[in-house]
Amino acid sequence: MTPEQIAALFTRPDGSYLCARWGRPVAPVVFGLADESLDIFRAAIRAGFAHAGHPVTDADPEMGANLMLFFLRDWSELEAVPDLERLTGMPGLPARLAAEGADQYRLFRFDGDGGIRACLAFLRMSGALADSHPAELAEALVMRSALSFAGEVVPGPALAALIRAAYDPVLPVAAHDPSHAMRLAARLAPTP
């Protein structure tokens, strides 16, 4: 991947650049899945973050869970989530997602140093995602929650390598300057 391709992955529609990784261990919780699928998602989360060299734990000391995955048949089911508005900071989220015809929505919260503090992902499984293979969906969710990508990304070896490079401890937990993409690209370059 070139620096330009990497920069595009983290550049928002307003032109701002943000590449943030988790600054604390990931404490996942999954809502709305059958037990057989739940095991697939738990394994994918552990494997994905192990590949990045980042710890996964049972509980975050401040928040309990900080990677929350919600699987729903319809956006109206979000109305039953306690304190949804306080959790997301977004009044009317279920109605907005329904009006947009969205199939999924991802929301990040950040710590003071810019690192990812929490990620909430909501997936409507009655739409385009209904026929998704659980393992493929789990892999995609893990990759999309590992870094603050500006849009949807497609899982693959290049993306996995990029995530691993972004978790290099010498890099900042969050970067706002697009030149950061050059540092990531340098870590992806094959060594002679």
C-beta separation of 25 from 56 below 8 A: yes
d(CA 65, CA 40): 18
Is residue 189's pLDDT more than 80?
no
* Average pLDDT, rounded, for the chain: 93
d(CA 42, CA 65): 13
* pLDDT, tens digit, 9 for 90 and up, residues 81-107: 989 999 999 999 999 999 999 999 999
d(CA 118, CA 110): 7
Whole-prediction pTM: 0.92
Which value, to the nearest 10 degrees, does the dihedral of the CA atoms of residues 68, 134, 36, 63 take?
-10
Average pLDDT over every residue of 155-160:
94
Best CA proximity match to 185, nearest among 171, 176, 173:
171
d(CA 49, CA 128): 27
Ramachandran category for residue 102: left, alpha or beta (phi over 0 → left; psi -120 to 50 → alpha) = beta
Class of the CATH-defined domain 22-153: alpha beta
pLDDT of residue 181: 97
Average pLDDT over every residue of 108-125:
96
* pLDDT, tens digit, 9 for 90 and up, residues 9-53: 999 999 999 999 999 999 999 999 888 889 999 999 999 999 999
